[in-house]
């Protein structure tokens, strides 16, 4: 195999025609080199399988002996290496206007085909300049396809790396089903509506859908519909032309335009004002955006993934969300369950985030005790996975060697660390210490109230446990010097 020349494999079972092909190529022998000549399809497949770089262009006779020939042979070669280009030569017997035949060859993957000269033309198999030009063109195509294969491979590798940092962790039934749904629906172009409480991972799901779809090399544009000022939503989404209003000094691309051929992620879609909903419907229905100040509309092909923590059907009923838009978005509904309904995931997530933050903070991984996991599992997680992630980070920042149940409770209820010991909480009785009842009472109250506070989620919770009205609880804490 020589890199600077075009390597040819000839598949032809008649020596006379092999000679004619070689004759036709001879004037270009410094550029076009016949590397191998075989008389049947099996032999050709064998050679190419052993080394796909052995040839750039295959010249094959259509009518050869053996079981593998014609379209089957073309497809088999293409299966081994898509970038190998194939030129088919056929006997005169093929009707020159047999378009169906030509079509079959092209569909099987042939680059070009020609009809051999009559047998009495000894010097050439075909008009030599045309034949050579076709080989040169075939080689250019081979180079381009190899390049695009290489860069696609590189891009795919980047995407794999990216996805590795955005894994959806969890082994609960609902997370397993979620991963299956993503796998199933990502390749389609259908719109997706993701519903779930805050912090459950809706954006993560959207991201995984995009990067597992055929749009993965295109843009993924995220927009938070809730945080855009109302008056800017339309110009952000759809853009405007220069001079379309005072202050429009230059034209601006809208996010839909930037996301063309890719995916737009509309987070908190329920917060979209009605007039923007109308325009969004238009994009989804007709694939057209109405750019402010533009006479004719602009065509775009964007997949829409929307997310909300509200019940959109309720919003429709309350006339805050357009029903037609709801149906257009809700083609594939995906629900992400709250963490409290999938407690089995807690330990997996904790392990994942401990690894993550230990690496990020460059610290040694602490031991996570069983009690710590139990404490984390018994919490209700109103902020879902996001809250769990923050709690793990907070715990790791403490720099402990081992994380206990108490450490977790401190981190969860965000209380200052205070030394107390359950068993010894009444140990003053054993010290033989004798104090006036009033002082003893105060000491007891102080320790007991501190203990209850440290094991409560909030002041309201602590006052309830103590059977005190909140104002009385606060007064007591002050009195005892606990605030």
Ligand X SMILES: Nc1ncnc2c1ncn2[C@@H]1O[C@H](COP(=O)(O)OP(=O)(O)OP(=O)(O)O)[C@@H](O)[C@H]1O
- Residue whose C-beta lies closest to Mg ion: 203
Rg for the chain, CA atoms, rounded:
36
Q: Are 197 and 211 in contact (CB under 8 A)?
A: no
> Binds 83, which of ligand X, Mg ion, none (CB < 5 to 8 A, cut-off by type)?
none
Give the phi and the psi of residue 140 in degrees, each rounded to 5.
-60, -40
For 14-44, the DSSP string reads -HHHHHHHHHHHGGGTTTEEEEEEESSHHHH
CA–CA distance, 187 with 291 (Å, rounded to integer): 29
**Closer CB to ligand X, residue 137 or residue 174?**
174
Write out the two tokens for 122.
Answer: 């000894």
- Close Cβ partners of 52 (under 8 Å, ≥ 6 residues apart): 80, 81, 84
User: Could you identify the residue written with the tokens 């080989």?
Assistant: 135
DSSP class of residue 52 equals G
**Closer CB to ligand X, residue 125 or residue 385?**
385
Candidates 24, 40, 85, 200: give the one binding ligand X (CB under 6 A): 200
CA distances from 204 to 13, 448, 477 (A): 59, 44, 43
Candidates 71, 203, 406, 461: give the one binding ligand X (CB under 6 A): 203
> Binds 386, which of ligand X, Mg ion, none (CB < 5 to 8 A, cut-off by type)?
ligand X
CA–CA distance, 157 with 151 (Å, rounded to integer): 10
Stretch (H or E) spanning 422: none
Candidates 41, 199, 254, 366: give the one binding ligand X (CB under 6 A): 199
Stretch that binds ligand X, among 17-25, 26-34, 165-173, 465-473 (CB under 6 A): 165-173
**Closer CB to ligand X, residue 77 or residue 270?**
270
Sort strands 85-90 and 298-299 into parallel, antiparallel or unpaired.
unpaired
Q: Which residues bind Mg ion (CB under 5 A)?
A: 203, 267
In the complex, what is the shortest distance from the CB of residue 201 to ligand X, in angstroms, rounded to a whole number? 3
DSSP class of residue 54 equals G
Stretch that binds ligand X, among 168-176, 281-289, 367-375, 474-482 (CB under 6 A): 168-176
Site string for ligand X, 281-320 (x = CB under 6 A): ----------------------------x-----------
In the complex, what is the shortest distance from the CB of residue 177 to ligand X, in angstroms, rounded to a whole number? 13
Q: Which of 49, 115, 37, 35 is nearest to 78 (CA)?
A: 49
* Angle (nearest 5°) at CA 439 between 437 and 442: 110
Candidates 142, 389, 409, 453: give the one binding ligand X (CB under 6 A): 389
Q: Applying CB under 6 A, does 331 fall inside the site for ligand X?
A: no
CA–CA distance, 108 with 321 (Å, rounded to integer): 50
In the complex, what is the shortest distance from the CB of residue 306 to ligand X, in angstroms, rounded to a whole number? 12
Q: Applying CB under 6 A, does 169 fall inside the site for ligand X?
A: yes
Q: Applying CB under 6 A, does 168 fall inside the site for ligand X?
A: yes
Write out the two tokens for 467.
Answer: 């059977």
> Binds 385, which of Mg ion, ligand X, none (CB < 5 to 8 A, cut-off by type)?
ligand X
For 65-128, the DSSP string reads SSSS-HHHHHHHHHHH-TT-EEEEEE-TTS-TT-HHHHHHHHHHT-SEEEEPPPTT--S-SS-H
Other CB atoms within a 10 A radius of the CB of residue 259 amount to 25
- Close Cβ partners of 30 (under 8 Å, ≥ 6 residues apart): 5
**Closer CB to ligand X, residue 169 or residue 278?**
169
Stretch that binds ligand X, among 48-56, 89-97, 192-200, 410-418 (CB under 6 A): 192-200
* Angle (nearest 5°) at CA 179 between 174 and 184: 120
**Closer CB to Mg ion, residue 309 or residue 404?**
309
SS3 151: helix
Stretch that binds ligand X, among 201-209, 246-254, 276-284, 421-429 (CB under 6 A): 201-209
> Binds 461, which of Mg ion, ligand X, none (CB < 5 to 8 A, cut-off by type)?
none
Candidates 196, 239, 338, 366: give the one binding ligand X (CB under 6 A): 196
In the complex, what is the shortest distance from the CB of residue 329 to Mg ion, in angstroms, rounded to a whole number? 16
Candidates 202, 210, 322, 409: give the one binding ligand X (CB under 6 A): 202
**Closer CB to Mg ion, residue 203 or residue 288?**
203
> Binds 71, which of ligand X, Mg ion, none (CB < 5 to 8 A, cut-off by type)?
none
Q: Determine the straight-line distance between the first and last CA of the chain, rounded to whole angstroms.
A: 83
In the complex, what is the shortest distance from the CB of residue 385 to ligand X, in angstroms, rounded to a whole number? 3
Site string for ligand X, 231-270 (x = CB under 6 A): ------------------------------------x---
Total of chain residues touching ligand X, rule CB under 6 A = 16
CA–CA distance, 459 with 478 (Å, rounded to integer): 13
Q: Applying CB under 6 A, does 358 fall inside the site for ligand X?
A: no
**Closer CB to Mg ion, residue 17 or residue 267?**
267
In the complex, what is the shortest distance from the CB of residue 354 to Mg ion, in angstroms, rounded to a whole number? 23
**Binding stretches for ligand X (CB under 6 A):** 168-170, 196, 198-204, 267, 309, 385-386, 389
């Amino acid at each position: 195999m020589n890199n600077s020349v075009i390597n040819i494999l000839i598949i032809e079972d008649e020596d006379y025609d092999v000679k004619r092909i070689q004759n036709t190529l001879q004037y270009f022998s410094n550029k076009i080199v016949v590397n191998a000549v075989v008389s049947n399809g099996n032999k050709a497949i064998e050679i190419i399988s052993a080394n796909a770089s052995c040839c750039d262009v295959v010249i094959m006779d259509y009518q050869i002996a053996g079981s593998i020939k014609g379209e089957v042979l073309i497809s088999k070669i293409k299966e081994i290496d898509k970038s190998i280009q194939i030129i088919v030569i056929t006997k005169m017997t093929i009707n020159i206007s047999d378009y169906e035949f030509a079509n079959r060859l092209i569909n099987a993957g042939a680059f070009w085909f020609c009809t051999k000269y009559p047998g009495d033309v000894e010097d050439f198999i075909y008009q030599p300049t045309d034949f050579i030009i076709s080989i040169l063109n075939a080689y250019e195509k081979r180079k381009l396809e190899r390049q695009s294969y290489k860069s696609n491979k590189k891009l795919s590798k980047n995407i794999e790396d990216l996805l590795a940092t955005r894994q959806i962790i969890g082994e609960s039934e609902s997370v397993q089903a979620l991963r299956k749904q993503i796998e199933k629906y990502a390749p389609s172009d259908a719109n997706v509506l993701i519903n779930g409480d805050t912090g459950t991972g809706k954006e993560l799901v959207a991201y995984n859908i995009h990067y597992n779809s055929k749009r993965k090399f295109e843009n993924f544009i995220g927009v938070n519909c809730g945080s855009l000022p109302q008056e800017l939503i339309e110009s952000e989404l759809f853009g405007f032309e220069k001079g379309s209003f005072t202050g429009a000094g230059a034209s601006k691309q809208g996010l839909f335009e930037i996301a063309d051929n890719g995916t737009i992620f509309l987070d908190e879609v329920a917060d979209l004002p009605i007039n923007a909903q109308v325009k969004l419907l238009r994009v989804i229905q007709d694939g057209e955006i109405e750019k402010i100040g533009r006479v004719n509309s602009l065509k775009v092909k964007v997949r829409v993934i929307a997310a909300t923590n509200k019940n959109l059907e309720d919003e429709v009923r309350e006339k805050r969300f357009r029903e037609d838009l709801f149906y257009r978005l809700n083609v594939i509904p995906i629900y992400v369950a709250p963490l409290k309904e999938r407690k089995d995931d807690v330990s997996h997530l904790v392990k994942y985030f401990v690894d993550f933050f230990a690496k990020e903070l460059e610290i040694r991984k602490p031991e996570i005790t069983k009690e710590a996991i139990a404490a984390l599992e018994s919490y209700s997680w109103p902020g879902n996975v996001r809250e769990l992630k923050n709690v793990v980070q907070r715990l790791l920042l403490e720099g402990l060697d081992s994380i206990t149940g108490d450490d977790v409770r401190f981190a969860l209820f965000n209380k200052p660390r205070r030394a107390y010991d359950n068993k010894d909480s009444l140990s003053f009785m054993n010290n033989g210490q004798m104090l006036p009842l009033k002082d003893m009472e105060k000491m007891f109250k102080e320790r007991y109230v501190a203990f209850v506070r440290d094991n409560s989620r909030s002041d309201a919770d602590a006052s309830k446990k103590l059977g005190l009205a909140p104002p009385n609880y606060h007064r007591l804490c002050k009195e005892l010097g606990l605030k």
